[in-house]
Structure 1
Amino acid sequence: MNQSDLPGLDLARLKAHLDEHRPGLVQGDLSGQVVEGGRSNLTYIVGDGRSRWVVRRPPLGHVLPTAHDMGREYRVISGLHGTAVPVPETVLLCEDTDVIGSRFYVMEFVEGTPFRSDTELAALGPARTKAIADELVDTLVALHAVEPESVGLGDFGRPEGFLERQLRRWKKQLDGNRSRDLPGVDELHDRLASSVPESGEPSIVHGDYRLDNVLVNADDRITAVLDWEMSTLGDPLTDLALLVAYAERDKVSLQFVSNASSAPGYPRNDEVIARYAERSGRDVSRLNWYVSFAFFKLAVILEGIHLRYSKGQTVGAGFDGIGSGVVPLIAHGIETLKEEG
């Protein structure tokens, strides 16, 4: 591990805080490294030469605490530990910003691979790829089967009116990011707003459930579900729909999103939906609305990235092509909603 100072994490101050609040946990000086790939909260692996832990904190320079709520992540992971949903064991939540400059939490390090590309899965072969994808669906079913009250999360969100609030939230974000004409975006929003489904039994919702947000071991079992920053109580079909939308790579361009679903052996979307429906017992007859809404959200997210890039506020390879993917997402969202009948 890199012994030098880490951006956003003072290892000496972290160790002192752990020594005070979890005496005996750390057996020596800490070293650490930043986990690459995250686009929101920062993740570090730290260790003392004998044990390793993971530290999560908001991005550097953030100004809105509610946008990167360490307490919510810590709470949902703590609640789910010990259920059928594999999550790391939490160690400590620190809400004192004087320790490292922001709130943060520490959890155990879990071994496993976050599969991101079809090439990585192709190396395993079709049979193992299918087993991993099936495990991904079954773990989502397990999450949605957890009774929130039973794990202390009964007040973790407001399920009533969840879809309407979500639609208003993303419309507001769209309006704040508008810098050019986006053909069809108002039609897509209006179609969604006029046909909001009636939600079934609410559940804990992950908010960004996909293969590269879980860790998989050598036995093709999921060892941990990660990145809970968008979790809440709400309509579980939003999780399934986003998983489906991410896999529609032949119809839309989603840069910076895993293409693992293109690997040989990965189930088709209709197979994913059927497996979820059978194992969860949930009604998926109106899933097209949810998938269309997922495309709307993704379009808004990409348009925001495009706007920041065009203003010089985001730098890096690949950002110049983000804007071209927005209109196809909108068009496919409209088409998906029309297919509902």
Structure 2
Amino acid sequence: MDTMQVRSSERLDAVKLHAFLESHFSELPQGQLEISQFSAGHSNLTYCLKIADFEVVLRRPPLGPVAKKAHDMQREFTILSALHPFLPAVPKPYVYIEDRDIIGSDFFLMERKKGIVLDTYFPKGIKPTEELARQLSEKMVDSLVALHAIPYEDTPLKDMVKPDGFMERQVHGWIERYEKAKTAEYAEVKALTDWLKKHIPLNKEATIIHYDYKLNNAMFSEDYSDMIGLFDWEMTTVGDPLADVGVAMSYWMQADDPKMLLHALGDPPVTVLPGFYSRQQFMERYAEKSGRDISDIQYYCTFAYFKLAVICQQIYYRYAKGQTQDDRFAQMDKMVAALIQQASASI
């Protein structure tokens, strides 16, 4: 996973952090603390802290005002602690720190994993075959099935969630978030949100859901044989597993998707390449491996496109209001428009 020089507006206090590491890690090697930033991600800020051969990952909330109940570092730390014993791809969490005097916010530290993260291209020198693309698709499906099979009643998550009425709360909650963050009017939104409210499916089952499950949140071994990492657990909860499938499909682009959706933020993900599953193939394998009825899956996919549009809109709102100077967000409104169109096309 690529790191870069820390953005000037998002720097951390190296002196205070080094002192903190010395007090919490008894075998910390001698040397200078090097801080770099992971280039991926549009929400929480993620850094690599390195001293000689010692490395840990630091997660903190974004700068500026954030949505209520969003970016809860203690909650994400608790989720990692609960799930790591069941799913080794989950990074091992080390410590949560509430003290805001160290870096200006609370934060937590977790294991640094090393492997291959795929987004819009394969690493240089790797020519992906259709067989490799198929195998990666299968691993993405099967890992999602494995996550949904974890008995949440045996984890601390049982005390953190309210699975009853999950989709009802989700639909109304994300519509409310959209209204608070909108910066432009889209003609399709009224009909889309009315349709979503009218057709909310009944609760059938509750499982642990990642709720941000996508290829560039997964890490594979150097030979691509195993998924060794799964990241960004901030949206994880207990809810309808088909909502998780819908979210995964909203990220899983295919070559025949509208150009506006494929290229709104630049190059499309590698899932558009020959050999990768189509969304239909992904969902069919999920149904086969999980044994779940997915006859209502189109609703969940439509809602997921709208939900992703709202997330992008919240990011763009922060940029438009000057709450972040990250230039990656300048074109996010184009992605909002593309996602709203994609959601509306299926109702």
| Cα offset, 1:164, TM superposition | 0.8
Q: Which residue is equivalent to 1:253?
A: 261
Aligned partners of 1:5 and 1:11 also within 8 Å:
no
Give matches, 1:33-112, under 5 Å. 33-62=36-65, 66-112=69-115
Partner of 1:135: 139
1:152 and 2:162 matched: no
Say whether 1:229 aligns with 2:234. yes
One-letter identity of the residue aligned with 2:339? L
Which letter does structure 2 place at the counterpart of 1:246? Y
Q: Structure 1 pair 125/150, CA: closer, same or farther in 2 (3 Å)?
A: same
Partner residue, 1:300 = 310
C-alpha deviation, 1:141, in angstroms:
0.7
Shift of 1:24: 2.4
The amino acid of 1:104's aligned partner reads F
Q: Which residue of 2 aligns with 1:291?
A: 301
**Which of 94, 117, 120 is the matching residue for 1:114?**
117
Give, in whole Å, the separation in 1 of the partners of 2:6 and 2:70: 29
For these two proteins, the number of residue pairs brought into alignment is 337
Matches within 5 A, 1:136-215: 136-215=140-219
SS at match of 1:154: helix
1:288-331 CA-partner distances (Å, limit 9, x unpaired): 00001011112323344455555565656565544344444334
Matching residue of 1:16: 19
Gaps of 5+ in 2: none
What CA deviation, in whole Å up to 9, does each residue of 1:53-78 have, x standing for no partner?
Answer: 11111122346673211111111111
Structure 2 CA distance for partners of 1:64 and 1:272, relative to 1, 3 Å? closer
SS of 2:346 mapped into structure 1 = helix
Among candidates 124, 129, 152, match of residue 128 of structure 2 = 124
Cα shift readout 1:234-272 (whole Å, capped 9, x = no counterpart) = 111112112212224513516348522102211111110
Q: How far apart in 2 are the matches of 1:2 and 1:116?
A: 16
Please report the TM-score for the alignment, with normalisation by the length of structure 1: 0.88
Matched with 2:243 is: 238
Deviates more, 1:5-14 or 1:84-93: 5-14
Report the CA distance shift for 1:150/1:313 in structure 2 as closer, same or farther (over 3 A): closer
Whether the 8 Å contact between 2:59 and 2:107 is mirrored in structure 1 is yes
Indicate how the Cα distance of structure 1 residues 213 and 256 shifts in structure 2: closer, same or farther if over 3 A, else same.
farther
Tell me if structure 2 keeps the 8 A contact 1:242–1:294: yes
* Residue 270 of structure 2 corresponds to residue 267 of structure 1: no
**Secondary structure at 2:82's aligned position in 1?**
helix
Kept in 1, the 8 Å contact 2:167–2:240? The answer is yes
Secondary structure of 2:27 counterpart: coil
Structure 1: distance between partners of 2:295 and 2:88: 26
* Partners of 1:4 and 1:139 in 2: CA distance: 32
Structure 1 residues 223-243: Cα deviation after superposition (integer angstroms, max 9, x where no partner): 111011111111111121122
Match of 1:276 among 278, 286, 297: 286
- Structure 1: runs of 5 or more not aligned: none
Deviates more, 1:177-186 or 1:204-213: 177-186
The aligned counterpart of 1:217 is 221
Retained in 1: the 8 A contact 2:309–2:339? yes
Residues 308, 267 of structure 1: CA spacing in aligned structure 2 closer, same or farther, 3 A cutoff?
A: same
- Cα distance, 1:210 vs. partner? 0.1
CA distance in 1: counterparts of 2:49 and 2:318, whole angstroms: 32
Cα deviation digits, residues 138-182 of structure 1 (max 9, x gap): 111111110112233212311111111111111111212344331
What's the secondary structure of 2:57's corresponding residue? strand
Does the CA-based 8 Å contact 1:8-1:60 persist in structure 2?
no
Question: Separation in 2 of the partners of 1:330 and 1:296?
Answer: 6
Q: In the TM superposition, what is the alpha-carbon distance from 1:216 to its structure 2 partner?
A: 1.0
Q: Which moved more, 1:255-264 or 1:83-92?
A: 255-264
The two structures have a TM-score, normalised by structure 2, of 0.87
Tell whether the 8 Å contact from 1:94 to 1:104 is kept in structure 2 after alignment: yes
